[in-house]
A and B are shown apart, each in its own frame.
Chain A
Amino acid sequence: MFVKFLFIASSLLTIVSALSMLMTKDIMHACIFLLGALMGVAGLFLTLGADFLAATQVMVYIGGVVVLMLFAVMLTGGNELNKRGLNPVPLMGNKFTFALGVFGASMFFIVVYQLLYKIFHYFHLSVVDSYESTVEKIGRLLLTDHILAFEISSVLLLGALVGAAIIARPKRN
């Protein structure tokens, strides 16, 4: 019963936040609705029994990526119009760009639905009731089966750290 309640609450949070992200005109509000959507996805991970993953999602995305986006919005002038004034299209899109977006998304939907249609018919699986801890299993798998990806991702993070610090540094002329 708790799991059903968590599932309904998380999916409502995710869907409402994603819709609000579509319809808002303010970039700061869009970042906060992204926060809501990511919390909802973390809740959905919990209903699937992935507790370590849910905590990682909250820590990395909400503690890191959303704060980074907010800082970038504040450092690049936020909601002001672009200084050149040459572009007639507003920063958050007008009806024409949204119409193009809906057209593109519907193309995607048509293609994907042909694949999902069969899955909806064949799989009537529901949740297994036992929830066990995934921390030890994920730790063991990361260091035995998937160790190459683990090491490469650490090199990737080092490269991203150094690269982002150098790119965003103000030039001394």
Chain B
Amino acid sequence: MKESGIFGLHDVPLRIVYEGISFSIEKDRGGLLYKRKCMDEEVENIFLSSNSKVLINPIEPLNMPKELTPYLLIEFEKSIFIEPMTNKKIFITFPVEIGIFVHGKKEYQIIDVLTLAKQKFTLYGSIKNGVICKYWKSGVYSTMPDINPIYEGGIELSMRNTTMRWVEVTKAVFNAYGMKIYYSDDMVSMNANMKILSKKIAEIGFVGSRLEKGMKRSLELYISRKIPMIATKFLMEEGI
């Protein structure tokens, strides 16, 4: 696995050039001057903060190119057939979005989000009852694949077929409000459960556990906005 080294808490001034991402944060006239260049897009902002800490970590991959939905649909490159009444574990990938936060007065404020992953949206379900989802296509692996954490993260997906039939699974839809992202220098990961309730219905939720010791929990955007009435799981009722 590749080591990115860009995730974590950094001091200002900070300058990072890595894999097509280039950004810098410098002290400037009592504030912070942020400059970023990523995929031909340039951003320059001033932050009136005397603080000198910047947090960079992976966030829910649902903010770019614009925040349209809290749902991420991952289509599997190959269909999975799971036998009746069994638990199986697979690994799939998800696109990484990098959140840059500035720290001030015990509060973190997101200042930018960037990504090198391909962006695409799709519809899950029917035009009348479906939902717009961020789209990602992933291979299916038996162990964590060798991926670059700047581009992709890995999801350990525990699948439980509670039916008495073989079930074909071609995709999974995840709710951003439940995402728990962990990161280290060489890996970005999530841990999720898929409970198959029938041939066409499954429930997907996240588990707050690290895949490896020493991984840090990301500061997510959606978790901070969560209010009790918002569901954190996703019920796939329009086919799996």
A binds B: no
Interface residues of A (CB under 8 A from B): none
